[in-house]
Chain A
């Protein structure tokens, strides 16, 4: 710099005239709600009398969850043959469900970690519930790869435990990478979630009126007092964990995609899988967040905290990732044609026009076509429609995993071995039950833990910014 002009004297007068009008950022909390309101609102959910709808839902969820556990008991006692698997389709619904649930488990950590690093303040309204969703979805996901093995009682052999036989796990296997990727993801996500909750747990503790609430929440709050030093440490730890989680968001689904991409099955063996899977995971994850948050918003009257702006943002992310997924579908076709590899070509043409064409077109219409409605503001503002579209996205993403897993295996290299896979009732019930299992956990979360991060909400509320206009 040659010389810095004195701002007070040499400032061109024109600047004041052309100064652009400042676009007001939409407030993240509406109706001028104060801190106290936020505390009352969030703690009120935990402190109120257990509502009837919760009791009913919880009962239903428990019943549905039992389907999974009965299915798994039958599976373990009798054999993998109780599922619809056959030669050549060695992976069926179990792996489809695994990838589906892991995909759903992506939004939470993305919201809490990546959006945190990117200083997207709107994330605070949804991140707690989304993180809870992540953890519960990963728990549902984890059931499937564990129980899909033929001899689940030897599942611990997947861990590199020293043993006298000198047998070690196979580190070249993507399934082994999965073991580490998913367990790391689960551990870090849980830590992140729990750590972020500590100040809020402290608030609930402080408001507790019964001795047992006090005891339990004291334990959970780990002695949080809200002192400056604690806040300083908390912020730093939160930032560090966000940094640690960020690569995990990308790595988990990348590694899950390696289960397919590292193999040599036509239709699986594609380099596009990691970004494509991650985009799909965020896509399905946000759809699931909306699926869960819209009813909660309505039930608990959270309209001032979860605003149209939040919903708009999430819809736009769904639109963006949905389009990416659609682009990936197109790219797969292009690469297959461009490769000149007859088996690859067949695999993709067969996907779209072969025996599983019905699944493929369900996938395309749900994942590529439906989200395009989010281009329209009117659609984004119609919450019933948003909710329905998100359901479609969830269905579509389940079918995406089905299409990838099953169609590729059913028709690969040797036509002599081609087959057709259909699930059995045990497959269906086991999957169906995981929604119950998920709901049980999520309902418990809603009832007993702070649904929204109070402290963080206060930080982004207009009241927290004394300089705000």
Chain B
């Protein structure tokens, strides 16, 4: 290491401060989950499990959770397929408009969600497509594609072509080569992309508001709707608390997977 001692100490201190900043709201969320006050008053007026009770007995929360998972899985699946196809096309072939593809792919995530939401929503209405889980999946997949694409193309750039060429030399056709040589090499990239896309879809609210329609509620939609259930609002802290606990698992997995190779998940 070439950095001076004071640099290292200073940076470590700053890191701690920034971590504190990152976790301050999470700490508040956890504390508010046990806050007796119906208005999330600070400091907490008392310790209470009433919100946990409410959360457990509230069937809409469980429903929303299931819906969110289904939507996220669907969006991830589509994003992985489309992202991989696009990545392979861009990385392996030279063609006119090649550089535009990555531009096109990043647009759904770079343009404001409200615009994507309104655009998709009015299109669905005009065509007469019924709003529901499929329309939400469509909306989410659109901005998740780029996440899969980035991870896969970064990996493809680093994958040596020689094993594939050797495979072809040995008589394997395209499908076999893809399935047994290329795919395993991409597997962790796919997983990284999938995890990030899953997180994004699970937490997405702005586009979802426009493409969900009646009767379909994801967790973010439930949280948003809770703003209109005034004294039931604190329940969302319980939901978030549980999500934070659960999400340690996939985040940890993501890190383990990409730990061996360079760099964590690519946004």
Indicate whether A and B interact. no
